[in-house]
Amino acid sequence: MRRKGDLPRKICATCGRLFAWRRKWARDWEDQVRYCSERCKRNRPTPP
């Protein structure tokens, strides 16, 4: 079993917070997971 400190981490594209891997993101972690929460995903900046 892994400790929480040993899990991979990313920086949220919207708010800049550091967030850790979750089991439900296992298949999509490398490519699709960019936001720490649904709120950040909804409030993502729009490209000009």
pLDDT score recorded for residue 12: 95
Amino acid at 21: W
pLDDT given at position 17: 95
> What integer pLDDT is reported at residue 35 of this predicted model?
94
Q: Is residue 48 part of a domain?
A: no
For the chain, what is the domain count?
Answer: 1
Question: Is residue 32 in some structural domain?
Answer: yes
Residue partners of 39: CB distance under 8 A and separation at least 6: none
Tell me, what's the pLDDT at 47?
73
34 in any annotated domain: yes
Position 33 in a domain: yes
Task: Give pTM, 2 decimals.
Answer: 0.75
Chain segment 2-47, per-residue pLDDT in tens? 787 888 999 999 999 999 999 888 899 988 999 999 999 998 877 7
Q: What is the DSSP string of 14-39?
A: TT--EEE--GGGTTTTTTT---SSHH
